[in-house]
Amino acid sequence: MSTYSQRVADNILPFSVSCTLPEAFKEWYFTDNIEDHVIANEECELCNQEQLRYHFEIKNRHTNHHLWVGSSCILRFKVQVFENGTLLNVEDASKKLDKLKKKMRQDSCVNSLKKLASQESNSILANALEFYLKNKYLTPRQAFVVFWRLSTNKVDHCPSFFKVSLKKDKYKNDLREMPLERVHMIWPALSSSQRKLARKYGHTTPESK
């Protein structure tokens, strides 16, 4: 057995009834409890992989023991995932976990925006919060102001969790006319197709730090 499977076996078998790996995993299910540790520095209690930001709780239905693991291990080891009491296939389980992660990223953006709005009285920021709550994305101009003020106020945030919309011509135009250093500030929030469009407008890719 490789060290990896040995590690997983050592972590799960003592808390399972069955003493072989695929059998033991049939006793475990995802409890729907998730924890956002904000800093990606947590360990998966199954494979001991480090630097996880999100922990997903799995529980053994016979021993009641629980472990905090990464979402990839839930899928890799086919830990049972339920939706309204129905067992999901791997594809739907993966969709459910992705949806939960997306929700956590949005919540983290809302928390950063709320904290910023409470620290700085500024109508642009208040409007950006309201706009984000309604649409789950920012306009290019809002994104620039938000990232700039979040950094200045040292509010914990992850720019890549925010989404920027270029759906309206006005937003595209704003991106086209934006000074390069501002474009670079919102770059982490742009999708690959949005970055392609930015380059078409003559903006360059920021140098990686």
Question: Which residues are at the interface with Zn ion (CB under 5 A)?
Answer: 44, 46-47, 49, 70, 73
Supply the minimum distance, in Å, between the C-beta of residue 45 and Zn ion. 8
Length of the chain: 209
| Residue 36 vs 120, nearer CB to Zn ion | 36
Supply the minimum distance, in Å, between the C-beta of residue 69 and Zn ion. 5
| Residue 71 vs 194, nearer CB to Zn ion | 71
Residue number of the CB closest to Zn ion reads: 44
Which residues are 42's β-sheet partners? Answer: 52
CB burial string 110-130: b at 16+ within 10 A, e below = eebbeebbeeeeeeebeebbe
Supply the minimum distance, in Å, between the C-beta of residue 112 and Zn ion. 27
| Residue 12 vs 146, nearer CB to Zn ion | 12
Structure tokens at 53: 């930001």
27 with 17: CB under 8 angstroms? yes
| Residue 54 vs 162, nearer CB to Zn ion | 54
**Residue 79 to residue 72: CA distance in whole angstroms:** 10
Supply the minimum distance, in Å, between the C-beta of residue 143 and Zn ion. 33
